Structure formats: C-alpha cells, structure tokens
Structure 1
Amino acid sequence: SRQDEVTAEIARRAEILPPDEMLAAIKEWWEPLLRRARTIRMGVGGNVRFRIGELDMIVDFPKAKVREYAGEECIYWYTIPADLVSTNIADHEIDWSNSIFLSMQFEVGRSGKFNEFLTTFLKCLSRDRIEYVENWYAEQSDQTEDAEIDDWTVQRRCPHLRADLTKTGKIVDGVLTCALHDWKWDLESGQCLTTPGHPIRASRIVETASAAS
C-alpha cells in the first residue's frame, strides 16, 4: 500500500560516490568528531569495518582514524548499500541510526556483546551532538572516587554504565563482577574481560603491621 512512497524515496537518493571519494568524504567528516569523542572511542575500544558498495573501510576508534580495510581484526562489521551512504553524505545526515538502521537495508555482525558506545557515535555525527554526549558521560561519572571492596581498592563507578560497585560489585579470585550487567574485570591488569575497552582502576590493599606501643 505504500509502494509509491518507497519508490519515491529510492528515486531521490544521491548518485553513488566512487569508493575513493566516499572514503575521503567520511574521513574528513568523522575524524574530527572522533578526536573529540574520547569516552566514545575508549568505549568502542576497537576497529569497526564498513563495507559500502565497492568501498571496504574501517574506523579505528582508539586511534581516531578512518582508512581502507587491510585485514585488521574488527569487533563490528557492517554492510550498507552505497546509495544510502552517498545520500547521507550529500545530506550531511547526522543520525545514521534513523537514516540507515531503521531502513533495515543493512547487515551487521559483531564479536562479543552489544556496544552502546558505537551506536551512540552513529547517532551523533555532528560537533554539537558529540560535545553534548561527551559532557553527559563526564557528568554521570566521578572518575576520581575510589572504594574498598574486599582486599581491593577500585574505582567506585563501573566503567560500563556507572553503577555503584560498592552495591553491585563482587570479587572472586581477583576478578570483579558487576551484577548489574554481569561485566567482569581482571583487577591485577585492570582489563575488562567482557569486551574491549572499559578498563578499571584498581590496586590491592596492602596490610601493614601497626607499630608496637
């Protein structure tokens, strides 16, 4: 019943950009945003691959770089029609969650759990949106406060979604588990065992003998 609308939408899509022009356009657009999005970059914590028509590229979130894919290990990979992306570039569409993902005209795979930081970035492809969400993340978390849990001093707020680890955290054999979403950390290294990125600050409490009176 809505086929005429679908046909009209397809007809208004932009001409498909050549792969080198598409890569250059996305690089020029996204790299300045990535440099401003430190919390998001560290939250994604790896490479994300985009196959867009003849273009095969990755976004290296930790290094804030967009480049051609060269066989790197990726934590997410998308396949998206080139005409949709070319239209987004032409329109400078800042919310790909609406313009592409709600169209259901894409494929996606991932290694590990869902990463909300990646989805957030693809919703915030403008300087104003990136600054807003980075400021929001900063306001949600006091990164300086520590707490004692069993024999460890750890940052009080969970690096995932800022839960109070004095209420949700449990330590067994040097591994901290946040009960809110069952995320885990190796406290000796601070490494997150659930997904790349999201390191935690932790140190073992060293008991000292009290001086003899």
Structure 2
Amino acid sequence: MSLTAPRRAALADQVIGQLRLQITSGEWPVGSRIPTEPELVEQLGVARNTVREAIRALAHNGLLDIRQGSGTYVAATSELAGVMHRRFAGAQARDVAEVRSTLEASAARLAARRRTPRELRQLETLLARREAAWATGDVERFVEADATFHMAVVQTSHNEVLTALYADLGAVVRAFLRHDVGDELRPADHVDHGRLLTAIRAADAETAAAEAGSYALVCHR
C-alpha cells in the first residue's frame, strides 16, 4: 500500500504506524525478519530515508532489533513488551520462571472454567504441533510451538489484562525457554503437556493450575 503525506515527519509517522500494525497483528511474528529496506520502499512507495527513520524509531521503542549484516527482526509485539524485554534481559532465570509459573497457573485455572469447544479444538491442534516440533529436534521450531501453546492457554482464560500482560512478557519467556532448552532437544527433558489439556477439557480447575504452574519450574535448570 502506497503512503502519501505533505510533510516528511507526517509520512514517517504513517510508515511507523503501518509497520507497527504488521507487528501487532501477527503478520510479522516475534523472531521473524522483516522485509529489507528496498522491499519496504517498493511496498510503501516512500523514500528509503523515510523507511530507515521508521525502522530506527521502532527499534528505539523495542519492537525491532537491527542486526548488522543480518537484517531487522521483530523483537516484541508492543512498546511495553520491548521495555520488558530490555528491563528483564539480565534477570535471574529462577525469577522469570516463578513469575511465569504464577501467571500460567492462574490462567489455566480460569481456562478450565471458561473454555469453549472451539478453544479446546485449538488447544488440541497446538499441542499436536508442539509434539511434532519436538520430534523434529529443531530447537527454534519447538520453542515457538511451545510458546504458542502456552499463549493459547492464557488466552482461553478470557481475562484481557492477564492475556495482555503475558503477551508483553512473551519475548522474555521465549528467551529463557531457549536458555532452558539449550542447543538440542534431549528426550529426558521432554515435559508432557497432555495432562494440562485433559484437566482443562474436564473443567478441573485446580489440576489445570497445578500442571501449568509446575512447567516453568520443571523446565528451569
């Protein structure tokens, strides 16, 4: 979509808004590389300097990560997520695990009470993808599949504040999950999430909370 505006500052703001939308909508997921500057120039119909200015602004806000010689990658889905990622990048792994455990236990308890048939089917699909990703031995694929499954459980809580808070912590969670997994997927480290789905399906709120709350602490080394 070509963008036009009478002033360069206003045009840059439009480009920033367009790129932010593609990030927040999920079109460019966290960890993905965005199109190159020449590609964005062609897509948006603006000057290269305007695209560069927009990318730098979003990188400053924590949404994008500019890696010299590699490209520009999505670092977070919102400005708050970017702030959290920078703020907690050096946090103790145990602290992150405990916060994740608390949030996921609360979400799973609510999910068991509020889940819909459609959401149960979605969780089944995402869990199957998680297991398939583990079977491939691809660390990055597994981390993304695991994070997506946990995010779906949180969304099933139907608590917008809890969901937004967990989503903003997403980059932090993924970073520490990669740390926990390491360079390879070892059979001894596999954690069965089937019991969590069974508890949510059975509307067993306390078992769901106990299962979800234990995962982050079990995975943490």
- TM-score using structure 2 length: 0.25
- TM-score using structure 1 length: 0.26
Structure richer in helix, relative to its length: 2
Structure richer in strand, relative to its length: 1
Which has the higher Rg, Structure 1 or Structure 2?
A: 1
